[in-house]
C-alpha cells in the first residue's frame, strides 16, 4: 500500500489517538506497594513459640536499686568511689566533715576520765569510814563493860550498906542496953547503993555504946554515900554506852553515804564514757558505707556538697548488685493467667530488636500494681499489671539498669470462646 | 457531502467489490466505510471530539473522584509495612482520633500469630514557624525503633533523621503550606505546643483528605509534645507471622483484645467509605461523570444516526449490488469503532496529560491515573459507540435496495 499524503492525513488521527492511549497507559500510577519490610526490625515475637505474652520489661539490679542515704547531714569531705565501681559490703562510699564531732569526742573523753577519777576517789573513802565504824563498835563494847563494872560497884555498895546498917542496929541495941543499965543506976537514989565505980562503968559502957552506935551510923552513912556514888558511876557508864552507840550509828550512816557517793561517781563515769562512745559512734556514722556488695550506679554527691540526711528525691548514691541482672516484667492482668510460674522468656533491648537473649524466671511479685512504668511520654493508664521478675546474666550484653526491654514470655495459647456461646452473645 | 465525493466513493465501492476476493472483501468494505466516514470531516470530527470530550469528562472526573476517595484511605496506604491496624472500636477512619491505652500494644503483641506490633500515633497539631506563620499539621508518631509508618520515598535525608531529640520529618509535598516562600525546610525550627521541633528530613506521603502537611516524629516525642490526654496511642500496627493471613489475625485480635482490628485493605476501604457516606463528593462527581456519559451517548448516537441517514442512499446502492446486511453492519460498526478509538484516545490522552503534568502542582498531586479508569472508560466508550451504531444501522438493515432507483 502506497503512503500517499492523503492516506497519511487520514492516518494522522488514529495514530495520534494510539499515541495518546499509549501515553495514558504508560503514565498510569504505580500500584499500591504493600508488604514492604520495616526500615528497622521491630521487636518480633520469637518464631519458635506459638503463644507468647509480650510485655514491657525494665532492667534493675538483682538487689533492686538501693538509694544509699546518709544518717547525718553534713558537708562531704571525701568520696571514695566512682560510678560503676564494684564495692564490697561495708566499703566506705563517702565521708562527711567530722571536725566538730572529733572535738566533742575529745571533750567527752576528758569528762569521762575526770568522772572515772572522781569515782576512784569516792571509792577510796569508804574503807576509812568503815574503820571509824569499827572503832565506834569497840567503844560500845568498852562502854558496856563500864556499865557492868558500875553495876558490880553498886551491888558491893549495897552489900556494904546492909552490913553497916546491920552493924548500926547492933550498936543501937548495945547503946540501948547500956542506956537501960545506966538508967537503972540513975533510978537508985541512994548513991551508996551502987558504987560509983559501977556507975561510972555503966556510964562509960553507955558512952562506948553510943560512940559505937555513932560509928556504926557513920559507917551506914558512908555506905549510903558509896552506894550513891556507885549509882552515879552506873549512870555515867550507861550514858557513855548510849554515846558510843550513837557514834557507831553515825559511823555506819557515813559508810552508806560514802558508798552511795562512790556509786554515783561510778555511774557518772559510766555516763561520761557512754557519752564519749555516742560521739565516737556519730563520728563513725559520718562515713557512709556500702550496705551490700554491688555496683555504684549513680553518684549524686561530690566533695564539698552538702549531704542531707533523710529521704531525698535524688539519692546521694544509688547502688545495687548487678550480677545477675533482673528484669521487672509488667504483664497485663488480663494476660497474667496465661503465664505459668517459671515460664521461660526472651527479651530484646530497646533499639536493637535483632539481638534476643533468654531470661530465667525468678518470681512473681505477690501484689498486682497499677501500671507505672510507662511506655514513653506522659502515659496515664488505669491498667493493673502483675510484675514478674526475670534474671539474666549481663556478661557480654550491654544492658543498663533502667533500660527498657521488649519481653516475650512463653505462655499458654489463648483459648477461644466456644462458637455456640459466641452466637448466643450475638443475639 | 458533495456529489464529487459521493461519486468517488461509489466507484471505489464498485471496484473493491468487483476485484477483491471474498476473504478480503470484509476488509475492503471496512476500508470503504472508513473512507465514507473520513470523507465527511464535519461529522467525523464531530463524532471524534464529542466522544473525546465525554471521555475526557468521564475519565478525568472519575480520576479526581477516585483520587479524592483514596485520600481518605491514603493515611492507611502510606503505611506499607504493616498488614493489620488495631484501633478503638469506635474509630471509622484514620483521621478520627480515639486513642487507646498504651497497654493495648502489649495486649496485641500477646495475641497468637502476631509477628510484631508497633505503636502509631496520629493527631492534629499546630505548627508555629520562626517566621511567625501558623499552620495546622497532622502529627504522626512512628515507633522509635522500627519507624514503621514513615514513608520511605523521596527522603531528603536518611530515615535516621527522625532519631534526634524532637526531630521531625516533613511531607515535602505539602511543605508550601507551612513555608510559602519555598525555603528549604530542613534545619528549620518550629514550635509545637511550646516545644521546639527541628525539621531534619523530607519524605513524600500520599495526599490525605484533610490536606494538612504530615509531620512524622518518633512515637515518644510525638506523645510527649501533644497536650496531656489519658491515652495517646491511636493505632497499633501489626504484622502477622508467616502463614497467618491478615484477615484471620485481625479477627483473632478483635476477639482477644476487644479492640477493632482491620486489615490494611479493610481499613483503607473504611476510610473511603467514610468519605462516601459523609461528604457530597459522590453526588457531585457522580453527576459530572453521568453528564459525561450522557454527552457521549447523545452526541455519538445523534451524529452517527445523522451520518447513517445521510448515507442512506449509498448503503442502498451497496445493498442493491448485493452487499449483505451483515456486511453493512460491520461497516457501520467499524466506522463507530474508529471514531470511538480516536475519540477515546484524545479523551484519555487529555486526562493522562492532566494528571501527568498536574503532578507538578501540589494540589493535583493526589489524583492518580488508574488502570481501572483507563480500561473502564474504554469499555464504556465501546459500549456507547457500538450501541449507537447498532441503533443507527437498524434503518439501513430494513432498507429496501430499490430506494436507490426511485431516486
Q: Look at strands B84-87 and A92-96 and give their pairing.
A: unpaired
pLDDT at B23: 47
Residue at grid coordinates 569510814: A129
pLDDT at A423: 41
Is residue B170 located within the same domain as residue B295?
A: no
A382 to chain B: closest CA residue: B101
Number of structural domains (chain B) is 2
Which of B100, B106, B148, B347 is the mutation pick for testing A, counting most A CBs within 10 A?
B106
Residue B62 has pLDDT above 80, yes or no: yes
Is omega for the bond preceding A324 within 30 degrees of 0, making it cis?
Answer: yes
Q: Looking at chain B from residue 135 to 174, which residues have their Cβ under 8 Å from any Cβ of chain A?
A: 143-148, 150, 152, 159
Neighbours of B89 (CB within 10 A): 11
Q: Is residue B264 part of a domain?
A: no
Q: What is the mean pLDDT of chain A?
A: 85
Inter-residue long-range contacts of A161-170, CB under 8 Å, 24+ positions, other chains counted = A161/A220, A161/A223, A161/A224, A161/A226, A161/A227, A162/A223, A163/A223, A164/A216, A164/A219, A164/A220, A164/A222, A164/A223, A165/A220, A165/A223, A167/A216, A167/A219, A167/A220, A168/A213, A168/A216, A168/A217, A168/A219, A168/A220, A169/A216, A170/A216
pLDDT digits (tens, 9 = 90+) for B211-226: 889 999 999 889 888 8
Predicted TM-score (pTM) of this structure: 0.70
Which of A8, A26, A29 is the mutation pick for testing B, counting most B CBs within 10 A?
A29
DSSP three-state, residue B209: coil
- Taking one residue from A and the other from B, the number of pairs with CB-CB distance under 8 angstroms is 178
pLDDT at A427: 35
Residues B334-363, mean pLDDT to the nearest whole number: 86
pLDDT digits (tens, 9 = 90+) for A110-159: 988 888 888 888 888 888 888 988 998 898 899 899 999 999 989 998 89
Closest approach of A397 to chain B, Cα-based (Å): 19
Domain range holding B65?
22-70+280-405
In angstroms, the first-to-last Cα distance of chain A is: 76
3-state SS string over A352-416? EEEEEEEEEEEEECCCCEECCCCCCCCCCCCCEEEEEEEEECCCCCCCCCCCEEEEEEECCCCCC
A338 to chain B: closest CA residue: B110
What does the longest C-alpha to C-alpha distance in chain B come to? 93
Q: What is the mean pLDDT of chain B?
A: 84
Residue A50 in contact with partner chain B when CB distance is under 8 A: yes
Q: In this structure, what DSSP letter does residue B102 have?
A: T
Backbone angles phi, psi at A292, to 5 degrees: -140, 170
- Lowest model confidence (mean pLDDT) among A184-193, A395-404, B77-86, B339-348: A184-193
B83 to chain A: closest CA residue: A35
Which of B102, B117, B239 minimises the CB distance to A375?
B102
Is residue B226 located within the same domain as residue B171?
A: yes
Among the candidates B258, B293, B327, a domain finishes at: B258
Instruction: Report yes or no: A343 and B110 within 8 Å, Cβ to Cβ.
Output: no
Is residue B110 located within the same domain as residue B240?
A: yes
Q: Is residue B111 part of a domain?
A: yes
3-state SS string over B1-68? CCHHHHHHHHHHHHHHHHHCCHHHHHHHHHHHHHHHHHCCHHHHHHHHHHHHHHHHHHHHHHHHHHHH
Is residue B105 located within the same domain as residue B251?
A: yes
Is residue B288 located within the same domain as residue B340?
A: yes
Which of A33, A44, A376 minimises the CB distance to B116?
A44
Contact A335 B114 (CB under 8 A): no
- Taking contacts as CB-CB distances below 8 angstroms, the residues of chain A near B48 are 13
Contact B144 A376 (CB under 8 A): yes
A28 to chain B: closest CA residue: B369
- Lowest model confidence (mean pLDDT) among A105-114, A213-222, B111-120, B363-372: B363-372
Q: Is residue B254 part of a domain?
A: yes
Q: Is residue B78 part of a domain?
A: no
pLDDT digits (tens, 9 = 90+) for B279-301: 888 888 888 888 888 887 887 88
Grid cell digits, residue B59: 475519565
Closest approach of B291 to chain A, Cα-based (Å): 22
pLDDT digits (tens, 9 = 90+) for A395-421: 888 889 989 888 999 988 877 655 444
What does the longest C-alpha to C-alpha distance in chain A come to? 250
A254 exposure class (CB count in 10 Å sphere: 0-12, 13-18, 19+): middle
Contact A376 B220 (CB under 8 A): yes
- Taking contacts as CB-CB distances below 8 angstroms, the residues of chain A near B36 are none
Residues A229-234, mean pLDDT to the nearest whole number: 90
Percentage of chain B lying above the pLDDT 90 cut:
18
More confident residue, A78 or A46: A78
Residue B110 in contact with partner chain A when CB distance is under 8 A: yes
- Taking contacts as CB-CB distances below 8 angstroms, the residues of chain B near A34 are 80, 83, 264
CA A379/CA A415 separation, integer angstroms: 30
pLDDT at A381: 53
Residue A350 in contact with partner chain B when CB distance is under 8 A: yes
Q: Is residue B116 part of a domain?
A: yes
Backbone angles phi, psi at B209, to 5 degrees: -65, -35
Neighbours of B363 (CB within 10 A): 12
Residues A58-71, mean pLDDT to the nearest whole number: 91
Beta bridge partners of A385: A332, A369
pLDDT at B5: 55
Residue B114 in contact with partner chain A when CB distance is under 8 A: yes
pLDDT at B9: 57
Contact B352 A14 (CB under 8 A): no
Contact B102 A374 (CB under 8 A): yes
Is residue B122 located within the same domain as residue B65?
A: no
Is residue B112 located within the same domain as residue B244?
A: yes
Q: For residues B169, B174, B178 and B184, what is the CA-based torsion angle, rounded to 10 degrees?
A: 60
Instruction: Report yes or no: B87 and B243 within 8 Å, Cβ to Cβ.
Output: no
Which of A13, A47, A57, A348 is the mutation pick for testing B, counting most B CBs within 10 A?
A13
What number is the ipTM of this complex? 0.77
pLDDT at A418: 52
Contact B223 A378 (CB under 8 A): yes
Closest approach of B224 to chain A, Cα-based (Å): 5
Residues 6 or more apart whose CB falls under 8 angstroms from that of A176 comprise: A209
Closest approach of A342 to chain B, Cα-based (Å): 18
pLDDT digits (tens, 9 = 90+) for A304-343: 999 988 888 888 999 999 888 999 998 888 888 888 888 8
Neighbours of A13 (CB within 10 A): 20
Residue B315 has pLDDT above 50, yes or no: yes
Is residue B167 located within the same domain as residue B312?
A: no
B228 exposure class (CB count in 10 Å sphere: 0-12, 13-18, 19+): exposed
CA B60/CA B377 separation, integer angstroms: 10
Is residue B367 located within the same domain as residue B284?
A: yes
Contact A41 B146 (CB under 8 A): yes
More confident residue, A3 or A329: A329
Which of B115, B119, B369 minimises the CB distance to A28?
B369
Q: Is residue B10 part of a domain?
A: no
Contact A54 B117 (CB under 8 A): yes
Instruction: Report yes or no: B216 and B142 within 8 Å, Cβ to Cβ.
Output: yes
Residue B264 in contact with partner chain A when CB distance is under 8 A: yes
Neighbours of A280 (CB within 10 A): 16
Contact A20 B349 (CB under 8 A): yes
DSSP letter string, A43-75: -B--TT-S-EEEEEEEEEETT--EEE-BSS-EE
Residue B358 has pLDDT above 70, yes or no: yes
Q: Is residue B270 part of a domain?
A: no
Closest approach of B295 to chain A, Cα-based (Å): 20
pLDDT digits (tens, 9 = 90+) for A74-120: 999 999 999 999 999 999 999 999 888 889 888 988 988 888 888 88
Band (pLDDT 50/70/90 cuts) for residue A222 is confident
Is residue B236 located within the same domain as residue B303?
A: no
Is residue B162 located within the same domain as residue B248?
A: yes
More confident residue, B199 or A4: B199
Which of A20, A378, A387 is the mutation pick for testing B, counting most B CBs within 10 A?
A20
Closest approach of A50 to chain B, Cα-based (Å): 6
Residue A380 in contact with partner chain B when CB distance is under 8 A: yes
Q: Is residue B352 part of a domain?
A: yes
Grid cell digits, residue A12: 494522522
Is residue B286 located within the same domain as residue B248?
A: no
Which of B107, B150, B220 minimises the CB distance to A332?
B107
CA A275/CA B368 separation, integer angstroms: 92
Contact A383 B103 (CB under 8 A): yes
pLDDT digits (tens, 9 = 90+) for A167-210: 888 888 888 888 888 888 778 777 777 777 887 888 888 888 88
In 3D, which of B103, B299, B293, B19 has the Cα closest to residue A336?
B103
CA B189/CA B181 separation, integer angstroms: 15
Q: In this structure, what DSSP letter does residue A207 have?
A: H
Amino acid at each position: 500500500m502506497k503512503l500517499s499524503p492523503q492516506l497519511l492525513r487520514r492516518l494522522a488521527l488514529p495514530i495520534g489517538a494510539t499515541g495518546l492511549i499509549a501515553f495514558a497507559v504508560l503514565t498510569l500510577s504505580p500500584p499500591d506497594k504493600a508488604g514492604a519490610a520495616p526500615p528497622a526490625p521491630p521487636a518480633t515475637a520469637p518464631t519458635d513459640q506459638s503463644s507468647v505474652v509480650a510485655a514491657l520489661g525494665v532492667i534493675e539490679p538483682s538487689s533492686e536499686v538501693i538509694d544509699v542515704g546518709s544518717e547525718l547531714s553534713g558537708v562531704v569531705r571525701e568520696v571514695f568511689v566512682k560510678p560503676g565501681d564494684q564495692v564490697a559490703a561495708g566499703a566506705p562510699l563517702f565521708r562527711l566533715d567530722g571536725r566538730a564531732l572529733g572535738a566533742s569526742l575529745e571533750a567527752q573523753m576528758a569528762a569521762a576520765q575526770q568522772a572515772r577519777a572522781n569515782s576512784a576517789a569516792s571509792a577510796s573513802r569508804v574503807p576509812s569510814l568503815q574503820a571509824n565504824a569499827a572503832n565506834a563498835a569497840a567503844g560500845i563494847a568498852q562502854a558496856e563493860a563500864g556499865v557492868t563494872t558500875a553495876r558490880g560497884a553498886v551491888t558491893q555498895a549495897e552489900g556494904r550498906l546492909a552490913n553497916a546498917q546491920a552493924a548500926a542496929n547492933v550498936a543501937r541495941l548495945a547503946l540501948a542496953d547500956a542506956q537501960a543499965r545506966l538508967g537503972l543506976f540513975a533510978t537508985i537514989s541512994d548513991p551508996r547503993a551502987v558504987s560509983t565505980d559501977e556507975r561510972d562503968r555503966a556510964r562509960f559502957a553507955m558512952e562506948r555504946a553510943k560512940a559505937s552506935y555513932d560509928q556504926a551510923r557513920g559507917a551506914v552513912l558512908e555506905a549510903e554515900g558509896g552506894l550513891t556514888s556507885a549509882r552515879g558511876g552506873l549512870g555515867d557508864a550507861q550514858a557513855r554506852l548510849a554515846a558510843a552507840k550513837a557514834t557507831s550509828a553515825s559511823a555506819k550512816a557515813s559508810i552508806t553515804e560514802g558508798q552511795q557517793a562512790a556509786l554515783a561517781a561510778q555511774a557518772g563515769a559510766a555516763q561520761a564514757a557512754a557519752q564519749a562512745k555516742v560521739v565516737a559512734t556519730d563520728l563513725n556514722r559520718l562515713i557512709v558505707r556500702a550496705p551490700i556488695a554491688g555496683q555504684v550506679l549513680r553518684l549524686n554527691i561530690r566533695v564539698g556538697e552538702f549531704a542531707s540526711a533523710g529521704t531525698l528525691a535524688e539519692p546521694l548514691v544509688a547502688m545495687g548488685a548487678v550480677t545477675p541482672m533482673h528484669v521487672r516484667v509488667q504483664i497485663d492482668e488480663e494476660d497474667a493467667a496465661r503465664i505459668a510460674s517459671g515460664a521461660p522468656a526472651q527479651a530484646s533491648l530497646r533499639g536493637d530488636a535483632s539481638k534476643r537473649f533468654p531470661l530465667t524466671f525468678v518470681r512473681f511479685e505477690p501484689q498486682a500494681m497499677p501500671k507505672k512504668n510507662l511506655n514513653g511520654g506522659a502515659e496515664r493508664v488505669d491498667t493493673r499489671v502483675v510484675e514478674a521478675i526475670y534474671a539474666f546474666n549481663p556478661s557480654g550484653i550491654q544492658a543498663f539498669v533502667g533500660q527498657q526491654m521488649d519481653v516475650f514470655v512463653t505462655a499458654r495459647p489463648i483459648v477461644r470462646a466456644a462458637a455456640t456461646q459466641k452466637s448466643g452473645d450475638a443475639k | 457531502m458533495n456529489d464529487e465525493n459521493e461519486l468517488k466513493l461509489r466507484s471505489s465501492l464498485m471496484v473493491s467489490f468487483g476485484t477483491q476476493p471474498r476473504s478480503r472483501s470484509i476488509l475492503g468494505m471496512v476500508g470503504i466505510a472508513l473512507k465514507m466516514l473520513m470523507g465527511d470531516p464535519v461529522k467525523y470530527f464531530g463524532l471524534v471530539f464529542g466522544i473525546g470530550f465525554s471521555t475526557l469528562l468521564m475519565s478525568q472526573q472519575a480520576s479526581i473522584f477516585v483520587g479524592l476517595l483514596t485520600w481518605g484511605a491514603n493515611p492507611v496506604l502510606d503505611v506499607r509495612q504493616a498488614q493489620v491496624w488495631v484501633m478503638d472500636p469506635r474509630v471509622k477512619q484514620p483521621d478520627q482520633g480515639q486513642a487507646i491505652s498504651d497497654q493495648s500494644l502489649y495486649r496485641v503483641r500477646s495475641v497468637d500469630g502476631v509477628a510484631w506490633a508497633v505503636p502509631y500515633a496520629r493527631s492534629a497539631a499546630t505548627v508555629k514557624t520562626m517566621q511567625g506563620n501558623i499552620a495546622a499539621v497532622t502529627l504522626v508518631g512512628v515507633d522509635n525503633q522500627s519507624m514503621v509508618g514513615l514513608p520511605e520515598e523521596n527522603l531528603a535525608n536518611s530515615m535516621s533523621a527522625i532519631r534526634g531529640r524532637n526531630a521531625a520529618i516533613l511531607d515535602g509535598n505539602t511543605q508550601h503550606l507551612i513555608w510559602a516562600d519555598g525555603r528549604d525546610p530542613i534545619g528549620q525550627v518550629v514550635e509545637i505546643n511550646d516545644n521546639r521541633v527541628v525539621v531534619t528530613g523530607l519524605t513524600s506521603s500520599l495526599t490525605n483528605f484533610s490536606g494538612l502537611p504530615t509531620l512524622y516524629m518518633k512515637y515518644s516525642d510525638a506523645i510527649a509534645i501533644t497536650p496531656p490526654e489519658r491515652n495517646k496511642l491511636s493505632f497499633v500496627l501489626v504484622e502477622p507471622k508467616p502463614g497467618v493471613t491478615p484477615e484471620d489475625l485481625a479477627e483473632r485480635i478483635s476477639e482477644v483484645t476487644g479492640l477493632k482490628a482491620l486489615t490494611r485493605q479493610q481499613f483503607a476501604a473504611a476510610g473511603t467509605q467514610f468519605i462516601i457516606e459523609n461528604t457530597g463528593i459522590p453526588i457531585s462527581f457522580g453527576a459530572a461523570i453521568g453528564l459525561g456519559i450522557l454527552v457521549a451517548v447523545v452526541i455519538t448516537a445523534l451524529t452517527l444516526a445523522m451520518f447513517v441517514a445521510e448515507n442512506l442512499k449509498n448503503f442502498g446502492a451497496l445493498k442493491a449490488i448485493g452487499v449483505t446486511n451483515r456486511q453493512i453492519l460491520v461497516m457501520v460498526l467499524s466506522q463507530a469503532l474508529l471514531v470511538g478509538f480516536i475519540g477515546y484516545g484524545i479523551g484519555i490522552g487529555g486526562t493522562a496529560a492532566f494528571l501527568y503534568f498536574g503532578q507538578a502542582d501540589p494540589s493535583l498531586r493526589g489524583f492518580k491515573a488508574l488502570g481501572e479508569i483507563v480500561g473502564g472508560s474504554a469499555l464504556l466508550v465501546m459500549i456507547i459507540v457500538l450501541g449507537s451504531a447498532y441503533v443507527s444501522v437498524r434503518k439501513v438493515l430494513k432498507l429496501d435496495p430499490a430506494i436507490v432507483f426511485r431516486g
